Amino acid sequence: MASYQLPPVPQPLAVFERMIAPQTTTLVLKEKFDNFDVTALDKTRQMNVKAEYPSLHGRKHVYDSAGGHLFDITRETLHRHTTFSIQDESKKEYMQVQKRFAFVGFKAEATFTTARGTPVTLKLNGDWSASSADIVDAASGAVVARIDRKWGNARELLFSQQTYHVTIAPGVDMALITAMCVCLDEARSDGGASGSCTVM
């Protein structure tokens, strides 16, 4: 994987300020049968995403490194297109991620309001289904995260056990970027149909 150094964002782009990247930080998201281990490059755990079984809505629970609950990701059914909702126990909305139509692969856009009250729009540049893509701040054009998809062996590909390296700029919420990546991976697994992902 290439090594990137991303410049810090001018103002924090975060809902969970304790999850802000203090410097350019690369997270490794490794999928294991609908669960994700989220670690740093030195293999220290940063977050954990656990699928709930059984679950009619494909619920996933997201925890921080200490095991504290951050939010849940659920699949909603009363929508024309694939839709996910990420919510805390009181169903408070944090972010919305909407998949956009593209002739090849798909695009995505995320909107949220920071803990300091600033509205933010992030856009996925590049093809999530390909080997790499950037997440950029629509207001400034700055790259806030860079995603590299690591191609696994035949067994991992057969069981859809993907690994992503996500490099996050200083000042950006690592939990929100992780949530966006999990939503996009779920949407990719649906065959690339148009849809949206709501982070709550």
CATH number for 17-199: choose from 3.90.180.10, 3.90.550.10, 2.40.160.200, 1.20.140.150.
2.40.160.200
pLDDT tens-place string over residues 85-136: 778 888 888 988 777 666 555 678 888 999 999 999 999 887 766 678 899 9
pLDDT tens-place string over residues 44-96: 999 999 998 866 567 899 999 999 999 988 777 676 656 777 788 888 889 88
Domain ranges (residues) in the chain: 17-199
Average predicted confidence (pLDDT) for the chain: 83
Q: Quick one: tokens of 149?
A: 């998809």
Virtual CA dihedral for 150, 153, 158, 161, nearest 10 degrees? -40
Q: Residue 162 and residue 47: Cα distance in Å, rounded?
A: 16
pLDDT tens-place string over residues 159-177: 457 899 999 999 999 999 9
With helix as H, strand as E and coil as C, how does the chain read? CCCCCCCCCCCCECCCHHHECCCCEEEEEEEECCEEEEEECCCCEEEEEEECCCCCCCCEEEEECCCCEEEEEEEECCCCCEEEEEECCCCCECEEEEEECCCCCCEEEEEEECCCCCEEEEEEEECCCCCEEEEEECCCCCEEEEEEEECCCHHHHHCCCCEEEEEECCCEEHHHHHHHHHHHHHHHHCCCCCEEEEEC
What is residue 36's predicted lDDT score, i.e. its pLDDT? 96
Task: Determine if the pTM surpasses 0.85.
Answer: yes
The residue that leads in pLDDT, 12 or 56, is 12
**Amino acid letter, residue 132:** S
List Cβ neighbours of 72 (8 Å cut-off, separation of 6 or more): 59, 60, 61, 62, 86, 87, 88
Positive or negative torsion for Cα 35, 39, 44, 48: negative
Contact 72, 61 (CB under 8 A): yes
What is residue 120's predicted lDDT score, i.e. its pLDDT? 96
